Amino acid sequence: MTNSDETHEAGPPKRRLPVLVLLPLVLFAALAALFLFQLTLGNDPSTIPSALIGRPVPETDLARVPDLTKNGVEVPGFSRDDLLGKVSVVNVFASWCVPCRQEHPFLEDLATRNGFQMIGINYKDKPENARRFLGSLGNPYERVGADEKGRAAIDWGVYGVPETFIVDATGLIRYKFIGPLSASAYEGTFLPELQKVLDSPSSAN
């Protein structure tokens, strides 16, 4: 067998991908893995900072949810002026939001406490669904604004429902909790933050 025959049997030499071609793929995979880690494990969503902390609440003027009543009285909507003069807990919720149902008992507990008012922003909901939701689970809110198009939620910097804000008596947003309240978060984080605001000089009536 000649050398030419041996070369023919071995086949043509295999082409190797240049390192520079593979480098972008490796970098992309590494960045994707890092992003996934940060999203799922690296950060507690409830601790994501808000640019609105320490700033006045945005201009807000929300109509009431049609035909929503509490103890036989119509539940009004609210505007920014309704958040002045008293500490407010503002909760963004929707009937279609499963975590909203999970956190609702804690909102009901909040409603039994004194020194602040409970405000609801009903996010992208149908009035009949909102009424059914609060009718079955209880209505902890003194005022509920209908944010049918989600515009108010954008102005408030909402990432997704549910979210809960603490606003002091001067109309400054002092704290924001992202996601549903759990027993540990409610007792260990939210209530202490609320008490800080209630104890601050700006909240004195």
Predicted pLDDT at 39: 39
CA distance 31 to 33: 5
Domain assignment of residue 26, yes or no: no
Domain assignment of residue 73, yes or no: yes
pTM above 0.85, yes or no: no
Q: Which domain does 173 fall in, by range? A: 51-203
Q: Which two tokens stand for residue 193?
A: 């933050």
CA distance 189 to 89: 14
Domain assignment of residue 19, yes or no: no
Residue type, 116: F
CB atoms within 10 A of CB 57: 21
When computed from its CA atoms, the radius of gyration of the chain, rounded to whole angstroms, is 27
What's the domain count of the chain?
1
Domain assignment of residue 118, yes or no: yes
CB 195 within 8 A of CB 168: no
Domain assignment of residue 150, yes or no: yes
CATH number at residue 118: 3.40.30.10
Domain assignment of residue 90, yes or no: yes
Predicted pLDDT at 35: 40
Domain assignment of residue 171, yes or no: yes
Domain assignment of residue 123, yes or no: yes
Predicted pLDDT at 40: 38
CA distance 164 to 8: 74
Q: Which positions of the chain have pLDDT values less than 50?
A: 4, 6-8, 33-47
Residues listed for the chain: 205
Over pLDDT 70: what percentage of the chain? 74
